[in-house]
């Protein structure tokens, strides 16, 4: 039976510590301020934005939502980012994805100041991540690393296999795991015979967005399994991992829901505080 890695409990524990950091900042006259730009009427995006706002408020961060119509021009979005970049009261900026098709996402993300880039998706911050010289990290990847550390997992010398190569999870997580001296493989849609790689994994992370992709025959005994997938099946939320059949083989495993999901929102707030401290010359 695998040990359940309780992401929700860990996120709440971190949130209590984060509240104290925010209180210390406020005692110095510093008000953490986070801006989210949401373009269009994607229902899932609106839910995510509201969830972030609730978490921000719970730890004492001011979050302002710029809800723009789906017809908003790219030029106007860029102008808004320029305005927020120039505002010294704003410590963090993010653009909620996906954006409408007429918006060039790469151009929009590039416009965000690296010093206010909460998602860690500007080209310079991506470069810093791979150079091991980063001051902000994509939230999901950072949360997974912290969760593993919390449960005493030492990555040095381990075979880590990641299914999914997104800029949000797969690639940044690979960079952070390499920093800890893991041997990392990234699998993707063009990878042949996934199980040949997954069966060698000491740590298996699935961020593919495909329900029940990882089955028991793909996992070696004693592996640590991290499920990043969020899939809706018959009205239920399920991950990429067939939990009931994989859990008995794993030494540790995250559930869905209650595993990685809560970490993403919590660690987004932690990036806001990192950037707030940096903007005010405050070191850890």
**29-114 maps to which CATH number?**
3.40.50.10860
Distance between terminal CA atoms of the chain?
39
Rounded to the nearest angstrom, the gap between the alpha carbon of residue 45 and the centroid of all alpha carbons in its chain is 15
Q: How many CB atoms lie within 10 A of CB 13?
A: 13
DSSP-derived 3-state class of residue 280: coil
pTM of the model: 0.96
Residue 212 has pLDDT above 80, yes or no: yes
Q: How far is CA 108 from CA 79, 95, 166, in A?
A: 10, 8, 18
Average confidence (pLDDT) over 13-39: 97
Topology annotation, domain 139-260: Rossmann fold (3.40.50)
pLDDT in tens, 43-97: 888 888 988 999 999 999 999 999 999 999 999 999 999 999 999 999 999 999 9
Give pLDDT, residue 112: 98
Task: Describe the strand order of the beta sheet including 159-163 as a list of residue ranges.
Answer: 3-4, 252-253, 224-227, 203-206, 159-163, 183-187
Each domain of the chain, given as residue ranges in start order, spans: 29-114, 139-260
Percent of residues in the chain assigned helix, strand, coil, to nearest 5: 45, 15, 40
Give pLDDT, residue 43: 83
Torsion of CA 150, 155, 160, 163, to 10 degrees: 30
For residue 2, give the DSSP letter.
P
Give pLDDT, residue 9: 97
Average confidence (pLDDT) over 184-209: 97
The residues, any chain, with a CB within 8 Å of residue 76's CB and separated by 6 or more, are 68
Distance between CA atoms of residues 146 and 148, nearest Å: 5
Length reported for the chain: 284
- State yes or no: cis peptide before 213, omega within 30 of 0: no
Q: What residues are annotated to the active site? A: 52, 96, 119
241 pairs with which residues across the strands? 214
Give pLDDT, residue 281: 95
Asked if residues 239 and 256 have their Cβ atoms less than 8 Å apart, the reply is: yes
pLDDT band per the 50, 70, 90 thresholds, residue 284: low
Average confidence (pLDDT) over 254-269: 96
Indicate if 139-260 has the same CATH topology as 29-114: yes
Retrieve residue 264's tokens: 């993403």
Give pLDDT, residue 44: 82
pLDDT band per the 50, 70, 90 thresholds, residue 147: very high
Q: How many CB atoms lie within 10 A of CB 284?
A: 5
């Amino acid at each position: 039976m695998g040990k359940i890695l309780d992401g929700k409990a860990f996120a709440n524990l971190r949130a209590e510590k984060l509240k104290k950091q925010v209180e210390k900042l406020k005692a110095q006259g510093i008000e953490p301020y986070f801006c989210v730009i949401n373009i269009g009427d994607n229902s899932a995006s609106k839910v995510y934005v509201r969830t972030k706002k609730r978490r921000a408020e719970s730890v004492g961060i001011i979050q302002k939502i710029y809800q723009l119509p789906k017809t908003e021009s790219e030029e106007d979005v860029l102008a808004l980012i320029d305005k927020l970049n120039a505002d010294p009261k704003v410590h963090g900026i993010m653009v909620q994805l996906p954006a409408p098709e007429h918006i060039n996402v790469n151009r929009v993300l590039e416009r965000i100041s690296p010093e206010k880039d909460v998602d860690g998706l500007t080209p310079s911050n991506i470069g810093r991540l791979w150079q091991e010289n980063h001051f902000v990290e994509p939230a999901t990847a950072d949360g997974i690393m912290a969760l593993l550390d919390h449960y005493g997992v030492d990555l040095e010398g381990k075979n880590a296999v990641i299914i999914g190569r997104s800029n949000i999870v797969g690639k940044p997580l690979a960079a952070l795991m390499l920093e800890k001296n893991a041997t990392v493989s990234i699998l993707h849609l063009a990878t042949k015979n996934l199980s040949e790689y997954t069966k060698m994994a000491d740590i298996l992370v699935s961020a593919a967005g495909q329900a029940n992709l990882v089955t028991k025959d793909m996992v070696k005994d004693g592996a640590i399994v991290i499920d990043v997938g969020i899939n809706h099946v018959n009205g239920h939320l399920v991950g990429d991992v067939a939990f009931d059949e994989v859990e008995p083989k794993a030494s540790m495993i995250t559930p869905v829901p209650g595993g990685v999901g809560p970490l993403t929102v919590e660690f987004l707030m932690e990036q806001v505080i990192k950037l707030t401290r940096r903007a005010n010359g405050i070191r850890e």
